[in-house]
Structure 1
Amino acid sequence: MFGDYSIGDLGAIFAMQGFAGLILFSVFVLMALGLAIIFGQMGVINMAHGEFMILGAYVTWATSGFFQQNLPALFPGYFFVAMILAFIAAGALGMLVEWALIRHLYRRPLDTLLATWGLSLILQQAYRSAFGAREVGVELPDWMMGSKHLTDTIEVPINGIFVMCLTALITCAVAYVLFWSRWGRQVRAVVQNRVMAGAVGINTEKVDRYTFGLGCGIAGIAGSAFTMIGSTGPTSGQLYIVDTFMVVVFGGAASLVGTIASAFTISQARSTLEFFLSGSMAQVLTLLAIVGILMLRPQGLFALKVRK
């Protein structure tokens, strides 16, 4: 596998694939953060999480078109507006879904799996009817185009650097909200002991709704970031949902550190193996390694101890 490359070529390949892995890592983290909040904190298996991501991508695409046609002078900054709108749209839809569907299915994980799987099919058809079956892509502003040359053989795309910076910012914001804000303390109290949290005056139903909305809103931001590196279609979210669940389970449910570590490990392994092998073989080998590790440590890399 390595015999046809010199030491210098291998160094350049690992550097380039490592950076490509960081871009994939960024998308995985943004997707997995929302899913870890929903699955880890609430025990809800949300198979429609990818469709909330695609909603954010479509909102970004629509915002891009609006700025191009009506506000061309402000087009270079449209993405920041699109990201906020994507978070609001996906978060609002998530809160509506929690109120109409999820709140009736708590403590029934298999039922939530089936219900959200059906919801994902409904949303896919809704996107197909509203936006068409063909994939769409956004036009990047000029400041996101091009790449930075690190050496003669290594260059990194500017939009990839932007996605990574955005991921770091969102991760820090989520960590602050969950671990240092008053609402985050309420969320952790509900997770540890729902009955006692309700007894001391915490509105557990409100916490559940906002938690689900936050997880879906982060998926909407992941959709905005996704448009920077790929095209968007009605079924694009399903390409990431399995990988996202794999990241959450491998890292340990409800563990922010575990989610980040798991996303980094899986993305780097996938990116490097895909260069030397086929994409399907890279997926198979990565999955086999994760299954082997989970057999030895079924709680994941980092597991939180909570009272039941």
Structure 2
Amino acid sequence: MIFCGTTILPGERKNVPLPVPDAPPLETICLCGAASGRTLVVTAGVHGCEYVGVQALRRLFRELDPAELSGNVILLPLANPSAFYAGVKQVVPEDGINLNRAFPGDAGGSLSARLAFALEKSLYPAADLLVDLHSGDCNEALRPLVFIPTVGEDAINRTSQAAAEVLAVPYRVRSTARNGLYSWAVQKRVPALLIERGGQGLWSEQEVEDCCEDIRSLMRHLKILPGDTPPQDQSEIVETFYAEAASAGFWYPVVDLDQQVQKGELLGHLEDMSGNCLQEVRAECNGIVLYYTVALGVQTADPLIAYGHP
């Protein structure tokens, strides 16, 4: 395998720098299987306070043995390292832009644009499947779920969904996003998924192990590891509604994760400093609460809650 100009021999594990224009390179770990096969690319740390995927990839690169693989695995634990080390939620601290809204990138743009450019240039050509690991950020609670794309060619969408179906998550959510690491990948004809597990700036050993098992299941699905992973019991969410804060204020959700809500039901409200109601958020359809903001203080356009229906 050759990645970013570096040759990794069969049965070899190697740290390979991923170049970023006018910035330090990102650190990847490449495992070249003893036998040939497909390549799985897994990223984490696009958002600095989403820890489960970061820790899972650090664990996997120590546990996986290239001699047992038929194919290749490329792991990128920190796609946005400055945000991780500074504990900055959701954005690249140098420019205040959400990296998962920065695709396609620009080699001459701000740091988020240059990171997006670098990730696309290096990772997309290598991947038979690209998986981006997320959690609820430090201000979000969520149930594990996988976003499946709907914006790619039909064959790419189907390949992505077939991979998603082997994951042990309760919800499979159809996504119409276009400007994220995984959603831009499918538009460039690379099958891709976004997995969410964990939240609130926390991680646990169980969540990390569940995330590692997600990746092992995908490796078995791609025949990189031996064995089969049958489709899991998932509910598919065909339409999702996202509510955002109309202004800065104090946010009070009144529902919980997995709760069934009815059209018109109150989901939460926003108050000003004096306790006046600035905004009521009511369900636009019958659905299931997937995630919501747990922070008391929110800014204009901050996400408040997401819910969807099968």
When you count helix as a share of all residues, which structure comes out higher?
1
TM-score range, shorter chain: under 0.3
Normalising by structure 2, report the TM-score: 0.24
Normalising by structure 1, report the TM-score: 0.24
Higher relative contact order (CA 8 A, sep 6+): 1
